[in-house]
Structure 1
């Protein structure tokens, strides 16, 4: 007989199963746990009754697919529940063979519970429909397993009522014979979906009546319902990529394309049913960094590049990804769509070193960095490609000809579609969405302005998108949002958009020459939230790549605000970005002078960052600033730094253990400090050094 001592172990297994199902268990996987050998009969029977009740609770719930199979399964388990409760209530003693059968039933019941929950899983309606034949097979397999366990159960050896025994025998017979087949209604609906996808592959716009029939069958009746389907399908696609088995990925991609089309075209109203959906739907304001990890990812694979190479259009890709692209006969740049003049791949050694150091600083293995990342330069299925093109044209038309509500909804759809999908951005740019989005920036509706600027931000990441924005007169409109936007969120996103525009050399000059641009960014540093400060600081960093913008940044009063960030912020990324800007400003004499005029700036740089920061890049920028201050500020600055002996340890560490660029600067600074110690011997010089300390406010 089984003992009771280990029953808590069994309960822990059951809890684990339930937790797995409610978090990240992939649909149509059944991680059932076999009862351990030490479980007692009492515990096993109690758990079987609980499982049976959970399964029977599905009886009153709506199944949109697999209606017949689910109903028959629940009916048979309901009869067995009566049997289990009879045994429990009578307190019967059972043989080991009964316990063994109960154990097998428990395993099958877990899988049936998973299967029923998947049929009703939120957002999985379309996927369950398209997998309906497989799901029907799984119902048949699990009920056959129940039949096998009942066949070997010695019913004649147990004293239960004759009627109950007959019912169990009836279930055993029915479980062997009942046909769990594909529901004809499910089959017709899935064929309709396949027909729509085939039409899309041929470049034929979907018949909206046929699409509506599918949505009605699945009771997808709102924007929110459709959005849940998209999120579920994208998560399934992520599972495919992370598992390395992408056989289903093209089909999943086509379904995402179809549902995206439905969300944009079939539903006029944006409904958000709960706070969680509202947060997700608004899209968090994008924050930037001078060392943005997204810039280290290949535009084709979206994985961190291990061997970055640059093609003739100036775009950088991971070597393996672009070589695969070229071997397929493609001679267009995947990101810009421009024709590749030559197939030569030039190694980008500087970027490779930055990526390697980023991985070291963050404990990342470059070979494992891309798990669960979707390849979104080109959809994996032609149907998805065509669906996106049809949707882009529809949204572009709505932005021009729609009502105010329709325009706002179209801008919001673009905001979502461009969030992480490069191909979507390309389609939307080609469809002409940028000019009407720019027009919405002048709206008196806060929501419309926020959606429009957020959509433009994503489109500004596309090379052609930047060009269209500027050539359409968008710079003035974006700067107006930066200075006088209707919400802080809109102003913060405008700053981020300027950062992406500043990646083009001629646009840096153009933006810097606008009198409201740099003062607007500085004003946002003063009054913005952390997100706004980060975006403004990084936008300024981009503009500083044009040398004439240095003086404009100084005149706008940026340095005192940057010093305040170092003094008060605990955000590591913001501190690193601030140091990057200061390092750039300190490279010339005017910048050095401005920094030295700020009370306590040097102690902050030395004590807070060099001694305590865990960020390698923050320390590198710090060394760069100190070196520039020594070169441009003269012996007065050198005297102050030489007096601080605690500075030597981090400098020695950087000179040997970090990037070659940082090592070179650390060694140069050490050489200056050692030279000062060697030559400073007279008391007169020391006295001079003390007086100069007052100049730099240490």
Structure 2
């Protein structure tokens, strides 16, 4: 039994599905699921004839010792060095001790935080932890590798916490953002994602969003990292950060000036985005379309308009709503002829008709009806006589 003041990450494979403790004598049922012998024996002795994990009926109640897993558990157990609360506090104190290498202490703490949520909760309850980490984040003297460890540990412990304004005020300084920008540019794959997540967690109000967006290089680097050929995980984290900071008008203008529409157009046209990444990309296009400059950039980029048309009804209801809202804004509300032509060229009329007869939201249905009015007036095809109250799709 591990003492309450000791924290250690146990691989899930080593835990018994019944007791959740590390298995001492792992045995496998005919279903292939492995349990600790004492736990599964009690289950069977109580008259059960199913596998507890899968609830499959057991054809036989015999079990076979899992020697391979037992050997792995033994090797793991022999290699573990339990870290107590006092040892964690000692490692934290050593971060400021000149005679100790702070990188080694921080690396140990980062691994400790990575092991389990229980470990991260313990660190968050330790008053000195966040101030120490944030102080290091403002200090580039430790070098890039050390900074990566700082941000990794910070991301691990704050990923599950609700950011507070006191936390934000402590960390959100220009020098802090500069440190995170350095990692976006030069850091490892993981530290790039961690930096984007930390920046997102800091974007709590208008001032913080503007500070991040207007720090020279942040927006351009986030856009650069979400190119189609880049790593999809990095792309999605950068998109999340951009969505978080994009709500103030000045942030939207910054995005437009930095070429966000062109970057998003390439991303949406690439065809390899996940559903959530596509939703975020379309959300950003919708956000910048609320400015005159953003609408102009969208209307000048026929590929962007075509990409939005292509995503309608193909990704998710959320993606469809973002795409239709933007198309409604540029084509109906502001009557841009270039955008209207691009929608027609991309076979958008068919999409609008299909959308109107789908199970879409009332708002999307109304915007689709508005768009159809525009194209009924402008179209030279048989659509000009189409009655929007009908319940079928006219052939083309």
**Structure 1-normalised TM-score?**
0.42
Deviations along 1:580-614, whole A, 9 cap, x unmatched?
Answer: 111111122211111122242222221x311433x
Residue aligning to 1:548:
250
Q: CA deviation at 1:482?
A: 2.0
2:122 to 395, 402, 424: 424
Contact residue 534 and residue 574 of structure 1 kept, 8 A: yes
2:107 to 396, 401, 409: 409
Contact residue 305 and residue 342 of structure 2 kept, 8 A: no
Q: What is the alpha-carbon distance in structure 1 between the residues aligned to residue 291 and residue 152 of structure 2?
A: 36
Q: CA RMSD in A?
A: 3.8
Residue 524 (structure 1) aligned with residue 225 (structure 2): yes
Contact residue 460 and residue 466 of structure 1 kept, 8 A: no
Q: Cα distance 1:459–1:468, how it changes in 2: closer, same or farther (>3 A)?
A: farther
Q: Cα distance 1:118–1:20, how it changes in 2: closer, same or farther (>3 A)?
A: same
1:509 to 206, 210, 213: 210
Q: CA deviation at 1:680?
A: 4.7
Q: Cα distance 1:15–1:500, how it changes in 2: closer, same or farther (>3 A)?
A: closer
1:616 to 313, 317, 326: 317
Residue aligning to 1:398:
94
Residue aligning to 2:264:
562
Residue aligning to 1:50:
none
Q: CA deviation at 1:548?
A: 0.9
Q: Cα distance 1:521–1:15, how it changes in 2: closer, same or farther (>3 A)?
A: closer
Unmatched 5+ residue regions in structure 2? Answer: 1-26, 46-59, 385-396
Q: Cα distance 1:524–1:653, how it changes in 2: closer, same or farther (>3 A)?
A: same
Residue aligning to 2:287:
584
Q: CA deviation at 1:405?
A: 4.7
Q: What is the alpha-carbon distance in structure 2 between the residues aligned to residue 434 and residue 665 of structure 1?
A: 46
Contact residue 586 and residue 625 of structure 1 kept, 8 A: yes
Residue 453 (structure 1) aligned with residue 154 (structure 2): no
2:32 to 16, 19, 27: 19
Q: What is the alpha-carbon distance in structure 2 between the residues aligned to residue 473 and residue 652 of structure 1?
A: 51
Contact residue 398 and residue 406 of structure 1 kept, 8 A: no
Q: What is the alpha-carbon distance in structure 1 between the residues aligned to residue 348 and residue 370 of structure 2?
A: 15
Residue aligning to 1:30:
40
1:500 to 191, 201, 204: 201
Q: What is the alpha-carbon distance in structure 1 between the residues aligned to residue 106 and residue 128 of structure 2?
A: 20
Q: What is the alpha-carbon distance in structure 1 between the residues aligned to residue 257 and residue 183 of structure 2?
A: 22
Q: CA deviation at 1:626?
A: 0.9
Q: What is the alpha-carbon distance in structure 2 between the residues aligned to residue 33 and residue 568 of structure 1?
A: 54
User: Secondary structure of the residue that 2:301 maps to in structure 1?
Assistant: coil
Q: What is the alpha-carbon distance in structure 2 between the residues aligned to residue 467 and residue 428 of structure 1?
A: 19
Contact residue 651 and residue 670 of structure 1 kept, 8 A: no
Give the count of matched residue pairs: 329
Q: Cα distance 1:410–1:647, how it changes in 2: closer, same or farther (>3 A)?
A: same
Q: What is the alpha-carbon distance in structure 2 between the residues aligned to residue 490 and residue 621 of structure 1?
A: 30
Q: What is the alpha-carbon distance in structure 1 between the residues aligned to residue 289 and residue 190 of structure 2?
A: 31
Q: CA deviation at 1:439?
A: 5.5
Residue aligning to 1:652:
356
Contact residue 524 and residue 532 of structure 1 kept, 8 A: yes
Deviations along 1:645-686, whole A, 9 cap, x unmatched?
Answer: 3123442146xx34xxx5314313312422552x45899xx9
Q: What is the alpha-carbon distance in structure 2 between the residues aligned to residue 534 and residue 680 of structure 1?
A: 38
- The structure with the largest helix share of the pair is 1
Q: What is the alpha-carbon distance in structure 2 between the residues aligned to residue 459 and residue 648 of structure 1?
A: 46
Q: What is the alpha-carbon distance in structure 1 between the residues aligned to residue 223 and residue 303 of structure 2?
A: 21
Q: Cα distance 1:450–1:651, how it changes in 2: closer, same or farther (>3 A)?
A: same
**Structure 2-normalised TM-score?**
0.69
Contact residue 595 and residue 601 of structure 1 kept, 8 A: yes
Alignment of 1:64-463 (within 5 A): 110=62, 114=65, 120=70, 122-123=72-73, 220-222=77-79, 225-226=80-81, 262-263=82-83, 387=85, 390=86, 392-401=88-97, 402-413=100-111, 415-416=113-114, 423-424=121-122, 426-428=124-126, 430-431=128-129, 432-438=131-137, 442-444=141-143, 446=145, 448-461=146-159, 462=161, 463=163
Higher alpha-carbon Rg: 1
Q: CA deviation at 1:563?
A: 0.8
Q: What is the alpha-carbon distance in structure 2 between the residues aligned to residue 20 and residue 682 of structure 1?
A: 66
2:300 to 573, 578, 597: 597
Q: CA deviation at 1:617?
A: 1.2
Unmatched 5+ residue regions in structure 1? Answer: 1-13, 35-105, 126-217, 227-261, 266-386, 687-698
1:674 to 373, 378, 391: 373
Q: Cα distance 1:638–1:472, how it changes in 2: closer, same or farther (>3 A)?
A: closer
Q: Cα distance 1:118–1:636, how it changes in 2: closer, same or farther (>3 A)?
A: closer
Residue aligning to 2:237:
535
Contact residue 460 and residue 501 of structure 1 kept, 8 A: no
Q: What is the alpha-carbon distance in structure 1 between the residues aligned to residue 198 and residue 209 of structure 2?
A: 12
Q: Cα distance 1:502–1:119, how it changes in 2: closer, same or farther (>3 A)?
A: closer
Residue aligning to 2:387:
none
Q: Cα distance 1:394–1:636, how it changes in 2: closer, same or farther (>3 A)?
A: same
Contact residue 411 and residue 437 of structure 1 kept, 8 A: no
Contact residue 449 and residue 490 of structure 1 kept, 8 A: no
Q: CA deviation at 1:508?
A: 0.6
